[in-house]
Amino acid sequence: METIILNPAKVNMVKNILRCTFGILPIITGIDKFFDVLVDWDKYLTPLVKYIPFSPYTFMMIVGVIEIIAGIIVLIIPRVGAYIVALWLLGIVIVLVWGMYFDIAARDLVMAISTFCLGELYSFKQKENKEKVLI
């Protein structure tokens, strides 16, 4: 196996930027589900409206709480939280594609891939001692 030597300061910088980005952004968008300052979130529910058992507003409140919790988990336990947010974003991508919001779906897919990579960066650190790979 080939040993990879990377600058630990740069790796940590990337991890921290991604952790803060994908920790803070879900918290902000989760809070905004209550206020609709960034966007009218209900419009993205168009294809789902007939399947949810309560009003779109109530559904978005639940989504907001989940996003806030997911963001906090990313900030506290990024190795776990990153995968949670990645899966959450993939779910959002499905809804956006269903609603024909392809441009936003593409953006969210890139964010899902990025959060997955964040999880992998934190998981890699866990393997560091076992595989004697320097990062």
Query: Using CA atoms, how far apart are residues 42 and 72, in angstroms rounded to an integer?
Result: 24
18 contacts 114 by C-beta, under 8 angstroms: yes
What is residue 132's predicted lDDT score, i.e. its pLDDT?
Answer: 47
- Of 3-7, 23-27, 114-118, where does mean pLDDT reach its minimum? 3-7
pLDDT tens digit sequence for 97-115: 999 999 999 999 999 999 9
Domain boundaries, the chain: 15-131
Task: Indicate the pLDDT class of residue 1, thresholds 50, 70 and 90.
Answer: low
Query: Using CA atoms, how far apart are residues 105 and 116, in angstroms rounded to an integer?
Result: 16
81 contacts 74 by C-beta, under 8 angstroms: yes
Angle, alpha carbons 23-77-123 (nearest 5°): 105
What is residue 125's predicted lDDT score, i.e. its pLDDT?
Answer: 53
From residue 100, give the alpha-carbon distance in Å to each of 38, 47, 105, 113.
Answer: 20, 9, 9, 20
94 contacts 87 by C-beta, under 8 angstroms: no
pLDDT tens digit sequence for 56-95: 889 999 999 999 999 999 999 999 999 999 999 999 999 9
pLDDT tens digit sequence for 24-63: 999 999 999 999 999 998 888 877 788 889 888 899 999 9
Tell me whether residue 130 is exposed, middle or buried, using C-beta atoms within 10 angstroms of its C-beta: 0 to 12, 13 to 18, 19 or more.
exposed
Residue 4 in this model has a pLDDT that exceeds 80: no
What is residue 118's predicted lDDT score, i.e. its pLDDT?
Answer: 96
Torsion of CA 107, 20, 82, 55, to 10 degrees: -60
Of residues 125 and 67, which shows the higher confidence score? 67
